[in-house]
Structure 1
């Protein structure tokens, strides 16, 4: 395990409760951190929020959600880009396909149901209910034309250009920092 970390350019960490509970995984992740290896967290368990040693280790790192097949397919290229950004050239990245690396067998069985597809079908009324459920009903009037497809696009925009996304929430919807954080948290719970 030590040799694998020492010889790696980047360490991918599969963030889940099982990973956190594993002494071997903790040793590997801690060693990678002490060796100053770039760590890329991959969230592989729905609704899991890293805490304890794992939360402290990855707390500020950019992460990728891989909790269902569609998120794996959507994030594969982004993960490759992140690896490249962390020091690997595309020539050194294993040219394996998404299918080879992330077959359905590798997705945790309790995460096979992907809420992404149901969100796409949401109407404006569903979004209104979602806002109410997340204690953000003050925004029902300014988001009256937002449906599930637009929510999915908002999530994509927040990942591609976060600064622009946050500034638009402030300008278009009049959100302050706390409200933006609540809204982003509610979006993240959708596991899109």
Structure 2
């Protein structure tokens, strides 16, 4: 491997987000050794940053850290994740949020040294991650690693659109899933900030200190396409659950991988999946789920998560059966 063509490392980094390619790269000790050497000794700062990024994707340790490991009191309410092409607009966003009393982390000067560790620490110390979406953001391996880690750490993600006519696609579309976003290209900055502020207040940051503003908030101006991230009440009938309720239920039970895999499933789909697992051939079902998981989220299905899911669904079905039997007894006896 040579330092003459830094773009090669960018390509390898992009490929290393794929689970199968990760395994192949990990199985090549000389490749890992060369990457580690470049990350420490290369004279090209961009090569050092990129090789740090590849090594980050290939590490197991940071993926296995428990969620509780980073839940000590947050230093920041919000972290702004953005591409430096949108720096001017993000600076305005930062200024307005800090005026409102939020503690905001943002990298204006581009981090030096091991940027991956610095990025991880910033996310671990923040409550909410604002993702500033644009084509440049989607194309950036740094931004992808940042957004992926925020999702992995179960941080609250609030997407905002920064580029006119851009529609999220690829990994970015998958990551934001059913989340609705504030469009800073459609509305005047002041109005878009008002929408974003209401979304952030709905999420509620417990330890933030905001100076009260003595004016009534006109709830009617919140547009219908702006989601509110407060906890949802789940119907006892799982068949009535929406896609977002299924997603939240899975996250509440720490089934993070399944929440990604089943992003398009509503309650009825969830029940059908449970029945397939219950009644089908176990090896065949596992094989099909494994194929789906690798194709859709580039990860092998977690048997632990699948077992927990099966157990939770059994509890749901048992609760439903008990309720039906009680209703019958009350009606006829």
TM range (shorter): 0.3 to 0.5
